[in-house]
Structure 1
């Protein structure tokens, strides 16, 4: 495996480790602020994690399909992989460890992280197989500008002025509510909603274009320059279209892709140019990224629902018994619990890697 691909595996593994860290605190009421999403507008370190992963999916699409032809066989493989991702996501939403093992279908959440990855992967892979890089760049630009103009300037029903705030007259929230109804994460919005999936496709397309830049890269400075252009563009656009993960705003796409490119540039520079050896622990996770993420979500859900006794689930029993101590702040105990979960999955990834078990989804 070329080192530039190893660099991508390291960043992918880092994103999965970070996902597990922020998704499995000991107590959601006691979490350090950087490990929480922004309440609406704004950007925290946690808000970078999911777009980083979609960005890496785009890079992987470039290297996986650059020598593939746009044939029925290739399209079928893309469709199958996308369907598996969506199916796994729906399974996580529908499954409960208690009989009859299914959530109420009337309020079952349809969107989700894996569902979005599946949809974004499908659309991006098809576009990559059909279009050249200039067309992909044009499509991305059109979506980002069009999304901003639509959410910000197209009047709502009854001529109500649209807004970017968390409100009924936000087009992203409004359309999700009209189409998904009760099948959302929150009564008024879903962070993996329908219309916000469009700009998330651009995050992946930017990854494809960065993959092309990486392929045969002679001067790492090109990566740093690209990162700077994305970051500056995103923070300037923030003036008119606020950075917002919940609606995946166009400024959010540019800024997070800029940070993703910058992180990748640093890793690439240190590993490929300076020949430092580090981050192998993340590479183990990156080689089985979807498997590790799925297992962490599934097992975490089981630990919340399965009871040890009348008062405690497995999760609350372990947390309160081991990590809640009088000499330790609650935030620290909650964070240490999350770190212990991360350690478990890193060890699992290491075991799979050493046994040469790589589960493709």
Structure 2
């Protein structure tokens, strides 16, 4: 196990989780600047990078935590318990309501979700890492990405040629409807659906390779990460021609492009903090130390504020209108300021926990 912490990884993780909070809690979804919204379907925005960045850093952390560990019952038990905790927390968020009996009707509960995907991806990436060497992991990653591409483009749906559009004969969407029914995020698909979990495991495995580079004895790690990131970006954009970049489907081209950007961003942070020893980003490091806790709290409190009624609106809506909406501000600006205030609050929560050495492991 690597005992020495790499500061850039902590900063990257914390910045990613705070960005997740920012894009998830605007003042109003009706007025949001374009870069803070997901792409409608194909293509990607800066917001579409956030979740794959987190799965990428999950993989990097696996390389740190499990390097040198042998596969045994105790390790499998710890991996399994953590996986179940993440899935349970995710299902809880999807089911919770503030009034008795405190859970939605069964048919309205969303089964897939962000924490559920993190849990499943962590499970498979960790199991693969402790059982296979890096060469075999490259092979597994290639199989996952190419196999998903072949499934999505060549397997017909009920006798009809599959499409990559948002349609009933989209294989991933069709499977989510067949398996989860009314338990999806949308009636016709779920962005954290079943089939698209396959390539999301590859997102974490690409993070594993970055973790192996960072824990190696290479002298020019930042340069290697820059080269890797640029290569993944180029390959991903070329693949986009036949397998469009799409977050909702988590296409293989999306995996490569987002991992490419993740390596480039991490390489820059690594060069500044771990090579040049420039001190910055402490607030992100604090948040990164309790990343899952901060994400869960932000989602849970946001749900509560959205359900508490204040007159004709919610507590969230009332606070936004009373504090952030002004004639001299565009509504998009007001919405962004609300989100930044929420981020500042959770940045303080991260600082509070860090200073008191409270690290809640999920």
The answer, yes or no, to whether TM exceeds 0.5 is: yes
Give me the whole-angstrom Cα distance separating, in 2, the residues matched to 1:3 and 1:278. 19
Which residue of structure 2 lines up, in the alignment, with residue 98 of structure 1? 99
- Distance apart, 1:89 and its partner CA: 0.4
Q: Is the 8 A contact 1:26 1:337 kept in 2?
A: yes
Give me the whole-angstrom Cα distance separating, in 1, the residues matched to 2:286 and 2:169. 45
Task: Confirm or deny that 1:168 pairs with 2:181.
Answer: no
Which residue of structure 1 lines up, in the alignment, with residue 286 of structure 2? 284
Q: CA offsets, 1:1-38, max 9 Å, x none?
A: 97762111100001111000000011000000100000
Q: Is the 8 A contact 1:82 1:121 kept in 2?
A: yes
Give me the whole-angstrom Cα distance separating, in 2, the residues matched to 1:275 and 1:340. 30
Give me the whole-angstrom Cα distance separating, in 1, the residues matched to 2:154 and 2:108. 32
Give me the whole-angstrom Cα distance separating, in 1, the residues matched to 2:151 and 2:69. 35
Which secondary structure does the structure 2 equivalent of 1:182 belong to?
helix
Task: Confirm or deny that 1:306 pairs with 2:299.
Answer: no
Give me the whole-angstrom Cα distance separating, in 2, the residues matched to 1:294 and 1:227. 30
Which residue of structure 1 lines up, in the alignment, with residue 334 of structure 2? 333
Which secondary structure does the structure 1 equivalent of 2:183 belong to?
coil
Q: Is the 8 A contact 2:156 2:171 kept in 1?
A: no
Question: Please, what is the CA RMSD of the aligned residues?
Answer: 1.1
Which secondary structure does the structure 2 equivalent of 1:235 belong to?
helix
Which residue of structure 2 lines up, in the alignment, with residue 240 of structure 1? 242
Superposed, 1:197-212 pairs within 5 Å as 197-212=197-212
Which residue of structure 1 lines up, in the alignment, with residue 43 of structure 2? 42
Give me the whole-angstrom Cα distance separating, in 1, the residues matched to 2:195 and 2:258. 19
Which residue of structure 1 lines up, in the alignment, with residue 297 of structure 2? 295
Give me the whole-angstrom Cα distance separating, in 1, the residues matched to 2:42 and 2:190. 15
Q: CA offsets, 1:321-354, max 9 Å, x none?
A: 0011111111111110101100100011101111
Give me the whole-angstrom Cα distance separating, in 1, the residues matched to 2:145 and 2:36. 27
Superposed, 1:308-323 pairs within 5 Å as 308=310, 310-323=311-324
- Distance apart, 1:107 and its partner CA: 2.2
User: How many pairs does the alignment contain?
Assistant: 359
Q: CA offsets, 1:255-281, max 9 Å, x none?
A: 000000000000111112222111111
User: In 2 relative to 1, CA 134–9 (structure 1 residues): closer, same or farther, beyond 3 Å?
Assistant: same
Q: TM-score, normalised by structure 1?
A: 0.98
Which residue of structure 1 lines up, in the alignment, with residue 125 of structure 2? 124
Give me the whole-angstrom Cα distance separating, in 2, the residues matched to 1:238 and 1:230. 12
Q: Is the 8 A contact 2:26 2:339 kept in 1?
A: yes
Q: Which moved more, 1:197-206 or 1:265-274?
A: 265-274
Give me the whole-angstrom Cα distance separating, in 2, the residues matched to 1:101 and 1:27. 25
Which residue of structure 1 lines up, in the alignment, with residue 196 of structure 2? 196
Q: Is the 8 A contact 1:3 1:271 kept in 2?
A: no
Task: Confirm or deny that 1:186 pairs with 2:170.
Answer: no
Q: Is the 8 A contact 2:6 2:274 kept in 1?
A: no
- Distance apart, 1:302 and its partner CA: 0.4
Which residue of structure 1 lines up, in the alignment, with residue 229 of structure 2? 227
Give me the whole-angstrom Cα distance separating, in 2, the residues matched to 1:350 and 1:320. 29
Which residue of structure 2 lines up, in the alignment, with residue 253 of structure 1? 255
- Distance apart, 1:150 and its partner CA: 1.1
Q: Which moved more, 1:310-319 or 1:246-255?
A: 310-319
Q: Which runs of 5+ in 1 are unaligned?
A: none
Q: Which moved more, 1:220-229 or 1:199-208?
A: 220-229
Runs of 4+ in 1 over 4 A off after TM superposition: 1-4
Superposed, 1:338-353 pairs within 5 Å as 338-353=339-354
Q: Is the 8 A contact 1:12 1:289 kept in 2?
A: yes
Give me the whole-angstrom Cα distance separating, in 2, the residues matched to 1:271 and 1:5. 9
